[in-house]
Chains A and B, each alone.
Chain A
């Protein structure tokens, strides 16, 4: 055991030590400007913090052993790649048992219901944005996870939903509840509009075009000042009113939270049913093998457009919620960074897996929030988490599992003879 730990991935202990020394030296060199040199701008002196160099060297030296050990362990496991992790096993077990399933669901529902009562406004706000990202992730999951179309401009649909509500609210005072479905429909229309020109594209090419599309929408919002108010954005957007009663900040945040929970449940319900339907299977087939998919009689054009349209509709609705929640929007909220985060949620969570997307959103949205205490190291840690997930769970945190269908065996005698 100790032997395995020391020599994991190496020929001998000596080799391992040499490798670790090299890694330590390299990291010392890399982190030298950051960890050792400190310029005191008041006294105009340079402080040399040599002790930090020692810490880096020792921690990297020891850390590299752990790293190699983890890698080697992963490699051993890879031989039976279909083996589920213990967490997945637990999930499957809970799901396959109706009593456990419903009690687990009840606990989750209870926790979600009590959340804004237990925690303060700040926590509730964070949770709302996390829920918005879960919905966005589930929407993008249709396009990327199920249909396998790499969409880097997803935030465009989100922006359209948000601006639709903001503008309609500003000019004509149209309420949130009217605009929620309208946002969804606008997203759908835009999804089809994007879908048409990119039907022939695949993989990298599709990614580039959608990336451009996302930027076009942002640039329009930024530069078409007469309509969109340009970079200064739109403020004083109405929060949703409860049966015509305007609520204070605290109450409306809590109300918003429950609206978001409702939207999320609706999204999960729809996506879950879609992915196990005739259409969902067509999406999967399209992702797996486009030529075979067409040869099996699936209309590629229809299937792709449907994926774009349905995926975008959820972004449109999430956009309306976002505008209502923040009461202020400007183009800076809809940069490529947002698309990248939503895509990361889907990839890290697990392509095509609803539970995975939820886990991914919780990690990618909540972790940076709670890491605010670490100030400038926040994004560094965020990046480290992403790298670790990709190295050790490339298929995502919770990978998608295929549904087991129940079939009627009309001729059991034939099967029994086998």
Chain B
């Protein structure tokens, strides 16, 4: 049995008197695609923010084990940049690109924590810096090509079509060399064809980079067809988890989504 790369145990998050997350457990294994679904306001994005360091959980443990070798490490309260350095990269529900930088530069930013040239290197432009810079550029271009954005290399991110911006965010997150990619509603605002292409891309990324992917998504067709396992969150509680088939037949999930009839 392989060890989980991400193991979340009994995580809680309070905002004042409101409990946004209550005793949430979640496990992601190596090379798995895990979906987190739930009605609006269920706490999905809060959960993402808690495990990526944007919020500090009020209680519980967030454990990561990038190599899946069975020596997990607790990352509660670590800063977002440290979490990213440790190998969890995310995208945002409302796109957060760097609008007045080019597509290539956006991806290059992602490589920041994996490179190390500093002030002296930047001013002297010595051999090591030049080599590193070229490697960064080439790798970023490769990633842009992977997500199908080679046409937009030198376009400002703000001028790109919406769907392409979502793809650029994925490329940027990939540039940080993650073991787990967290996608917050990657298909939001996409038409059916774009969603289908995106689904293919995500599965491709998983196979090509051998990484795990966890995504929040509302598009049930996409979630059902691509996920290995699904977690369902409602009012901050994990109400169900299992394979897509199990989830589709789970009465608690149906109740959360459709409500219960009175009679």
Contact yes or no, B115 A292, CB < 8 A: no
Do A297 and B113 touch across chains, with their CB atoms under 8 A apart?
A: yes
Interface string of A376-413 (1 = CB under 8 A from B): 00000000000000000000000000101111111100
8 further A-B contacts with Cβ under 8 Å, apart from A294-B84, A405-B137, are A282-B112, A284-B105, A289-B97, A297-B113, A298-B109, A402-B105, A408-B141, A415-B150
- B22 at interface by CB-CB < 8 Å: no
Contact A405 B104 (CB under 8 A): yes
Supposing A270-B123, A285-B109, A407-B141 touch, asked if A296 and B172 sit within 8 A by C-beta, the answer is yes
Chain A, interface SS category: helix
| CB under 8 Å from chain A, chain B span 100-131 | 100-102, 104-105, 108-110, 112-115, 117-119, 121-123, 125, 129
Check A418–B151 contact: CB distance below 8 A.
yes
A274-B54 contact, Cβ under 8 Å, with A296-B109, A298-B109: no
The answer to whether B137 touches A295 (Cβ under 8 A) is no
- A291 an interface residue at 8 Å Cβ cutoff? yes
* CB proximity of B53 to chain A, nearest CB, Å: 8
Measured in the bound complex, the distance between the Cα atoms of B156 and A28 in whole Å is 47
Residue of B122, B125, B134, B140 most packed against chain A (CB within 10 A): B122
Contacting residues of chain A (252-278) with chain B, CB-CB under 8 angstroms: 269-270, 273-274, 277-278
> Complex formed: what's the CA distance from A406 to B110 in Å?
18
* Chain B contacts for A411, CB-based, 8 A: 145
**When the two chains form their complex, are residues B108 and A281 in contact, meaning their CB atoms are under 8 A apart?**
yes
**How far is B159's CA from A293's CA once the two chains are assembled, in angstroms?**
20
The reply to whether the CB of B90 lies closer than 8 angstroms to some CB of chain A is yes
Q: Which of A281, A293, A299 contacts B105 (CB 8 A)?
A: A281
Q: Which of A277, A291, A300, A310 lies in contact with B121, CB distance below 8 A?
A: A277
Interface residues on B, range: 35 or more
Main secondary structure on chain B at its contact with chain A?
Answer: helix
Could you tell me which residues of chain B, from 49 to 86, have a CB within 8 Å of some CB in chain A?
Answer: 52, 54, 79-81, 84-85
**Is the pair A294, B81 in contact by a Cβ cutoff of 8 Å?**
yes
Which residues does chain A contribute within 8 Å of B142, judged by CB atoms?
410
> A301: shortest Cβ distance to chain B, in Å?
9
Interface size, A (range): 35 or more
A295–B52 touching, CB < 8 Å: yes
* Neighbouring A residues of B104 by C-beta, 8 Å: 405, 407
Contact assessment for B121 and A289 in the assembled complex, using a CB-CB cutoff below 8 Å? no
Which residue on chain A has the smallest CB distance to residue B151? A418
Nearest A residue to B118, CB-CB: A279
- Considering the complex, give the chain B residue whose CB is closest to the CB of A289: B96
Which 3 residue pairs of A and B lie closest in terms of their CB atoms, listed nearest first?
A: A297-B113, A277-B122, A297-B84
Q: Does B98 contact A (CB under 8 A)?
A: yes
Cβ of B210 within 8 Å of any chain A Cβ, yes or no, is no
CA–CA, A239 to B173, complex, Å? Answer: 54
Report which of B90, B99, B100, B138 forms a contact with A295, defined as CB distance below 8 A.
B90
List residues of chain A with CB within 8 A of the CB of B172: 296
Is A288 in contact with chain B by the CB < 8 A criterion? yes
A349 at the interface (CB under 8 A from B): no
B212 within 8 A of A: no
Do B54 and A407 touch across chains, with their CB atoms under 8 A apart? no
CB contacts (< 8 Å) of A284 on chain B: these are 98, 100-101, 105
Q: Check A410 against B118 for contact (C-beta < 8 Å).
A: no
Q: Contact between B99 and A288 (Cβ–Cβ < 8 Å)?
A: yes
Query: Contact between A289 and B98 (Cβ–Cβ < 8 Å)?
Result: yes
